[in-house]
């Protein structure tokens, strides 16, 4: 079995285990580890789809490869524009709940993306109001 197949099987097993933990109320879908696993899975699946589609010649035309690539792009969009802001909010809530300071190695990236997350939320709320 190839290395990427083992990786994706492991990621799928992790997501299934976490799904079962959610069903049996041992974990929530807002769990930091669940969201992080989802981001990693979607991002790596996007990278694999891009690599596999454009670096293999398996008899389909370029136009069809673009359509396949679009599916991977939707996964990346979902991971980085829906799951990552949610992950950052959960990390902040965790540290606030435990009355701990956010570590410097984590606080700097959170500070850098904080304004971008506010902008994304503002545009998202604006779109919902105008629909």
Q: What percent of the chain has pLDDT over 70?
A: 77
Q: In this predicted structure, what is the pLDDT of residue 105? A: 61
* Residues whose CB is less than 8 angstroms from the CB of residue 114 and which lie 6 or more positions away in sequence, other chains included: none
Distances (CA, A) of 76 to 5, 68, 72, 84, 98: 19, 13, 6, 11, 31
Write down the pLDDT at residue 127.
Answer: 53
Which stretches of the chain score pLDDT less than 50? none
pTM of the model: 0.72
């Amino acid at each position: 079995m190839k290395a990427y197949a083992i990786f994706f099987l492991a990621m799928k097993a992790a997501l299934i285990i976490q799904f079962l933990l959610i069903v049996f109320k041992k974990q929530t879908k807002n769990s930091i580890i669940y969201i992080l696993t989802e981001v990693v899975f979607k991002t790596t699946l996007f990278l694999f789809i891009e690599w596999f589609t454009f670096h293999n010649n398996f008899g389909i035309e370029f136009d069809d490869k673009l359509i396949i690539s679009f599916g991977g792009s939707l996964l990346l969009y979902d991971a980085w524009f829906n799951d990552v802001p949610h992950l950052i909010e959960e990390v902040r809530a965790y540290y606030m709940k435990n009355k701990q300071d956010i570590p410097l190695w984590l606080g700097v990236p959170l500070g850098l993306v904080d304004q971008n997350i506010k902008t994304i939320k503002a545009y998202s709320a604006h779109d919902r109001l105008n629909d």
